[in-house]
Structure 1
Amino acid sequence: MTTVFVTGGSGFVGGRLVARLVKDGHVVRALARGDAAAAKVEALGGSAVRGDLGDVAALRAAIGGSELAFHAAARTSRGGSRTQFWADNVEGTANVVRAAREAGVRRLVHVGTEAALMDGQPLVGVNENAPLRPDSRAHYPASKAAAERLVLDADLETVVLRPRFVWGAGDTTVLSELVAMVKGGRFAWIGGGRHRTDTTHVDNTVEGLILAAERGRPGQAYFVTDGHPVLFRDFITELLATRGVTPPDRSLPLGLALAVASAGETIWRGLRLSGAPPLDYMSVWVAGQECTIDISKATEELGYRPVKTREEGMAELRG
């Protein structure tokens, strides 16, 4: 039995990870910023430890006594300034690394993302040799790329696990936002939505995290997905159907979507407006460009295989 520390334990991926670790017989401690987060962690069988990513002393105390740590907390919202993304995703990660090192944690597993490679180009059959883009025009990819570099360069045993487009039962962000967009008349395909995309069910993400902790080579990153790509339009249509929602056929040309996103980002950043513009860089890149991933490294080195098919995941969502 191992004592494990988790950040983001009340979130989508972190919560499912806490449940899996508890099921596997580990003692789990998870960082919680407030009462609601603490209650969720406790309901999953973990022990909530109060604190946040900005307090190194609190982190060190919370992580103390743990052999293994997972860092799943991150700012993922569409809106937010560069300062906010850097504070949460870069400085917060640096604090976790420091606290883990000072507390004597044996290994830290970081939840990364394929977005760390994005700056407007399609990602076609990419693997772990593709360069990180801390210079990305979008705050989320840039901050996650910078955070991953910190983790991989740390004087601590670290591994990064990169899922692509995490989905499944328990998601309260992506699917609900898509449903709201359709119902509000704000949904349109970008470039027809017929590009290929990889996805990663939350259970497959957690499986990858467990394997990364057990078998990953220190200082290495690993991609995991559901095993094979699907047409973006087909996946989103089926995802929405689990909520009884049918997307319209309306489509926006990719070039126009990129121009609108560029203008919106410029205005929002220049005027320091709150929230996000109607179209932002990340949304256009995800919804309008191919993103296919080579998971050979995880398959060969970690023994990774998806534990849940898309069909099973969709069936769960339909309830």
Structure 2
Amino acid sequence: MKILITGGTGFLGRHLVWQLAQDGHEVLFTGRNADVARSIVLAAAKSVEFVPLEHGTQHAREQLLACSKAANVMIHSAALTSPWGSQRAFHNANVASTSEVLAACQANAIPCLINISSPSIYFKFRDQLSIREDSVLPAGVNEYARSKQEAEGLVIAGAIPLCVILRPRAIFGPWDNALLPRLLRLLRYGRLPLLRNGQALLDMTYVDNVVHAVKLSMKLAPSDTAQVFNISNGEPIAAADLFAKMAEQFGIPLHTVHRPYIVADLFARLLEGVAKLRPQWEPPFTRYSLATLAYSQTLDLSRARDVLGYSPVVTLDEGIARTAQWWKQQGLQA
């Protein structure tokens, strides 16, 4: 089977490239970083091919049309994932890229599209437990969430024979360059601030479990409508307990202090106000990034289990241990 993966030089993308190539598929992947792409190709167990492509540019649509010919599956994992950024940057990376992917699928009659979305579209600045895929979606909490929700709308309207939208929560693992560094910075802070007593329940997803969900999605029968699935490890954990597990595995002394959430939220508002006046500066934390550690957000996996046959292949504890081991093998500073 010929598979085209967008964003193949990203964290999730490289794992998709490696594991699908290992399964014997012919893999073509796109991305912006040619140096990273070379390292991915060298580490691949099988031959894979890289096509440099930057979504939202003048020639991106034509490039994607040309390289996706004869593809059986398109996996769209290219995205800008950040709690802060401009509306234009998120639109180009998340919405324009999805439009380009859909155009390629339709022009080349690609029968299967798997779109990697985000549960950030559920977020409401309050506790939410066992969120279902058919929950009423709020207005996006930030530009990232709004762009992912808009991209989902395009995918749903795209009328691809087999169209799957996956919403994996808080992906982590080796080569993570977003979530893990932020959590480690918090741990290294010295006196880790716990908001709302550190009791917020968090859902995490080890990267191999997302890849597993993608593989299962490829086996589904065509449907008249896009099929949407929540994905996580299915092991909600209190924020304080998560930090304790990470500190133990990464060998970081853990010192916590309880902080009033309302004070932290007011400070985050102030930082965001400054950042709006200084477009080149990104605040060290935002209202959203704080709130994800202060409010519970857990996903209902019933549909993924019943329809996809999904069950995590790596537990949360094992995933944290594997990630810490990789981190130390790379000689990275915890």
Task: Please give the range of the TM-score, normalised by the shorter of the 2 chains.
Answer: over 0.9
* Aligned residue number for residue 330 of structure 2: none
Q: Structure 1 residue aligned with 2:195, among 184, 187, 190?
A: 190
Q: Which moved more, 1:308-317 or 1:260-269?
A: 260-269
Q: Structure 1 residue aligned with 2:242, among 229, 235, 238?
A: 235
Q: Which moved more, 1:273-282 or 1:110-119?
A: 273-282
RMSD value, Cα: 1.9
Residue 77 of structure 1 and its aligned partner are, at CA, apart by 2.4
1:42-98 alpha-carbon deviations (Å, 9 max, x no partner): 122421012222210011112121010101111012331112111211112111111
The question of whether the paired residues in 2 share the 8 Å contact of 1:138 and 1:281 is answered with no
Residue 202 of structure 1 and its aligned partner are, at CA, apart by 0.6
Q: Structure 1 residue aligned with 2:88, among 77, 83, 86?
A: 83
1:3 correspondence with 2:8: no
* Aligned residue number for residue 28 of structure 1: 27
The secondary structure found in structure 2 opposite 1:221 is strand
The question of whether the paired residues in 2 share the 8 Å contact of 1:204 and 1:306 is answered with yes
Distance 1:35 1:266, change over 3 A: same
Q: Which moved more, 1:250-259 or 1:184-193?
A: 184-193
The question of whether the paired residues in 2 share the 8 Å contact of 1:89 and 1:144 is answered with yes
The question of whether the paired residues in 1 share the 8 Å contact of 2:191 and 2:255 is answered with no
* Aligned residue number for residue 332 of structure 2: none
1:120-131 matched pairs, under 5 angstroms: 120-131=125-136
Q: Which moved more, 1:106-115 or 1:29-38?
A: 29-38
Residue 186 of structure 1 and its aligned partner are, at CA, apart by 8.0
1:294-313 matched pairs, under 5 angstroms: 294-313=300-319
In 2, Cα distance between equivalents of 1:144 and 1:186: 34
* Aligned residue number for residue 155 of structure 2: 151
The question of whether the paired residues in 2 share the 8 Å contact of 1:5 and 1:30 is answered with yes
Q: Structure 2 residue aligned with 1:255, among 248, 258, 262?
A: 262
The secondary structure found in structure 2 opposite 1:180 is helix
Q: Which moved more, 1:42-51 or 1:81-90?
A: 42-51
The question of whether the paired residues in 1 share the 8 Å contact of 2:170 and 2:179 is answered with no
Q: Structure 1 residue aligned with 2:55, among 53, 56, 73?
A: 53
The secondary structure found in structure 1 opposite 2:75 is strand
Residue 187 of structure 1 and its aligned partner are, at CA, apart by 4.5
* Aligned residue number for residue 299 of structure 2: 293
In 2, Cα distance between equivalents of 1:244 and 1:39: 32
The secondary structure found in structure 2 opposite 1:238 is helix
In 1, Cα distance between equivalents of 2:157 and 2:126: 26
Distance 1:5 1:261, change over 3 A: same
Distance 1:241 1:275, change over 3 A: farther
In 2, Cα distance between equivalents of 1:140 and 1:241: 32
The question of whether the paired residues in 2 share the 8 Å contact of 1:53 and 1:96 is answered with no
In 2, Cα distance between equivalents of 1:187 and 1:7: 37
The question of whether the paired residues in 2 share the 8 Å contact of 1:80 and 1:275 is answered with no
| Count of residue pairs brought into register by the alignment | 316
1:71 correspondence with 2:71: no
List gaps (5 residues or longer) in structure 2. Answer: 326-334
The secondary structure found in structure 2 opposite 1:292 is strand
In 1, Cα distance between equivalents of 2:61 and 2:236: 40
Residue 185 of structure 1 and its aligned partner are, at CA, apart by 4.8
* Aligned residue number for residue 226 of structure 2: 219
The secondary structure found in structure 1 opposite 2:256 is coil
2:291 counterpart letter in structure 1 = W
1:138 correspondence with 2:142: yes
Residue 272 of structure 1 and its aligned partner are, at CA, apart by 4.3
The question of whether the paired residues in 1 share the 8 Å contact of 2:141 and 2:288 is answered with no
Q: Which moved more, 1:66-75 or 1:37-46?
A: 37-46
Residue 9 of structure 1 and its aligned partner are, at CA, apart by 1.0
List gaps (5 residues or longer) in structure 1. Answer: none
